[in-house]
Amino acid sequence: MISAGDFRNGITIEYENNVYQIIDFQHVKPGKGAAFVRTKLKNIKNGGVVEKTFRPTEKCPQARIDRKDMQYLYNDGDMYIFMDVENYEQLSLSQDAIGDALKFVKENDMCKICSHNGSVFSVEPPMFVELEITETEPGFKGDTATGASKPAIVETGAQVMVPLFVNQGDKIKIDTRTGEYLSRA
């Protein structure tokens, strides 16, 4: 059990027969009346975000989230196939369970599969990936002083904004959480 006074970002709790992850919390001490904790909770099953207010002494059971490293093998139509590298068992997940998580992930890359009580609810890609640019407009000399950027398509098919000096065939490093270009690899 965790009290509302101990809430932090990223903690998962069980509340009203659902499992929520705390996105944002704020301890509020008004001039009159008792203090309270204002939170934004994300339902990990359906992705919905709700705002709830708790008294600091309220307690909620902390949800146990299992994260397992698995290798992304391939896409078979609407199903995505992952393999446990320890016992070679394969797991098939639908497009609904994955969402946009594999936008920057190539085949044979490692991902974290997140589950609660055996039910998989999300896939976490690696934080940073190195991908090759397959399509972009050529850059021109002297255009780099402005800090401008141009769209580029990487080998997974995702679009990323890159600086003008990056060319087709270059390998770049991308932050998968934001989808932003970091550097050349």
Q: What is the pLDDT of residue 145?
A: 58
- Find tokens 């919390």 and name the residue: 25
24-37 pLDDT, tens digit per residue, is 889 988 888 888 99
Say whether pTM exceeds 0.75. Answer: no
Which class is 66-124 in CATH?
Answer: mainly beta
Domains 66-124 and 129-184 share a fold: yes
122-170 pLDDT, tens digit per residue, is 788 888 888 888 888 876 665 555 677 888 898 888 888 888 888 888 8
81-112 pLDDT, tens digit per residue, is 889 888 988 888 887 777 777 888 888 888 88
Residues in contact with 60: Cβ distance below 8 Å, sequence separation at least 6, in sequence order: 1, 2, 4, 13, 14, 15
Q: Output the six-digit token pair for 136.
A: 């972009």
Please, what sign has the CA dihedral across residues 12, 97, 116, 107?
negative
Q: Which helix (H) or strand (E) covers residue 95, if one does?
A: helix 95-98
Where along the chain do its domains lie? 2-60, 66-124, 129-184
- The CATH architecture of the domain made up of 2-60 is Roll (2.30)
Fold of 129-184: OB fold (Dihydrolipoamide Acetyltransferase, E2P) (2.40.50)
